[in-house]
């Protein structure tokens, strides 16, 4: 089926709002809240999110938490080769049946918890992840995906704004921490735009942000440093207000830490939030050498 015919078939479906209404998705209030579900109905906003990922032609796409299928429709209209949608809410799975039919085989809905499915198990093709992530699992899912970015071309993800600020934070600001360093070591990250609460139903109490990730081309030697970076940031930001001579000495030993900091021209009195990504990478190399 041509893209034009496929799009018109999807366009002829009931609106996303009508789909929610027909399937009583907003009547399951306590259930929706437990899953962190907040639905978007504005087609222009939804299409804008899908466009952040760039061309989807010749790509496989993974969406998590499609709900009534608003973003799912926008992704399908960009003509990917295949769209996998992971949805654990049986009410939403049922609401997606008409969209599955209209997609002519492109949409596969998987009733499962996304935390149990590695993206690479779904496809060996170049994969883009696009998702309006439930607030209560967004950070955990991101960290899960960061553990293996092989064949993932990009991630376009919506979080609550405070998480997005932590992901994209720079040294010296209050949001800079473990998540900033891990994300920015593995990916180029960009907070693309924010969305106010009133565009969602039910409206959350916080703003949301769309963040775009492009995995870096890292070598095997680069990837070996990840657990050492995690150890450093856990020690440093676990005692955020302490100087690094106190928070990091447990990893290196006091004398060795002094030597490492001297070699990097870093004062012992510096605090972890003021160290750059490059500083953490160099310290991770030193820690790796010491542990090996």
pLDDT for the residue 34: 46
pLDDT for the residue 249: 95
CA–CA separation, 98 and 291 (whole Å): 56
Residue of 36, 115, 252 whose CA lies nearest to 262: 252
What is the token pair recorded at 234? 């856990």
What is the band of 7 on the pLDDT scale with cuts at 50, 70, 90? very low
Q: Could you tell me the end-to-end alpha-carbon distance of the chain, in angstroms, rounded to an integer? A: 57
pLDDT for the residue 134: 85
pLDDT for the residue 8: 44
What is the token pair recorded at 150? 């092989």
Contact 204, 255 (CB under 8 A): no
Distance of alpha carbon 69 from its chain centroid, rounded?
Answer: 19
**Percent of the chain residues past pLDDT 70, beyond the cut:** 94
Look up residue 125 and give its DSSP letter: S
What is the token pair recorded at 239? 């005692």
Residue of 86, 153, 92 whose CA lies nearest to 118: 86
pLDDT for the residue 235: 96
Residue with tokens 């608003």: 70
Reported as a single tens digit per residue, the pLDDT across 95-115 is: 999 999 999 999 999 999 999
Domains in the chain, start-ordered, CATH in brackets? 3-217 (3.40.50.150), 222-291 (1.10.8.100)
pLDDT for the residue 6: 45
Reported as a single tens digit per residue, the pLDDT across 240-271 is: 889 999 999 999 999 999 999 999 999 999 99
The answer on pLDDT for 36 being more than 90 is no
Q: What is the dihedral of CA 5, 39, 59, 149, to 10 degrees?
A: -170
The answer on pLDDT for 205 being more than 60 is yes
Q: Structure pTM?
A: 0.91
The answer on pLDDT for 122 being more than 50 is yes
Contact 6, 76 (CB under 8 A): yes
Contact 290, 235 (CB under 8 A): no
What is the token pair recorded at 43? 């087609």
What is the band of 37 on the pLDDT scale with cuts at 50, 70, 90? low
| Angle 39-159-101 from CA coordinates, rounded to 5° | 40
């Amino acid at each position: 089926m041509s893209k034009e015919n496929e799009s018109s078939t999807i366009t002829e479906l009931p609106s996303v709002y009508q789909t929610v209404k027909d399937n009583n998705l907003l009547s399951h209030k306590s259930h929706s809240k437990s899953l962190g579900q907040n639905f978007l109905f504005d087609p222009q906003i939804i299409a804008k999110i899908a466009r952040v990922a760039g061309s989807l032609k010749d790509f496989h796409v993974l969406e998590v938490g499609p709900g009534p299928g608003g973003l799912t429709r926008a992704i399908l209209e960009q003509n990917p080769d295949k769209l996998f949608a992971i949805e654990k809410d049986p009410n939403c799975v049922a609401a997606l049946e008409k969209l599955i039919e209209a997609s002519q085989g492109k949409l596969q809905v998987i009733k499962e918890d996304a935390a149990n499915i590695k993206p690479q198990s779904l496809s060996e093709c170049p994969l883009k992840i696009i998702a309006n992530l439930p607030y209560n699992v967004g950070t955990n899912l991101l960290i899960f995906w960061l553990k293996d970015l092989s064949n993932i071309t990009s991630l376009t993800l919506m979080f609550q704004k405070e998480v997005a600020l932590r992901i994209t934070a720079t040294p010296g600001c209050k949001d800079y921490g473990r998540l900033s360093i891990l994300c920015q070591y593995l990916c180029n990250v960009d907070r693309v735009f924010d969305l106010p609460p009133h565009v969602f139903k039910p409206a959350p109490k916080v703003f949301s942000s769309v963040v775009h990730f492009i995995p870096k081309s890292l070598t095997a030697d680069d990837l070996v440093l990840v657990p050492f970076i995690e150890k450093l940031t856990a020690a440093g930001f676990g005692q955020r207000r302490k100087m690094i001579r106190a928070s990091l000495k447990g990893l290196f030993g006091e004398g060795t830490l002094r030597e490492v900091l001297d070699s990097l021209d870093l004062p012992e009195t510096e605090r972890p939030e003021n160290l750059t990504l490059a500083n953490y990478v160099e310290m991770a190399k030193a820690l790796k050498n010491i542990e090996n």
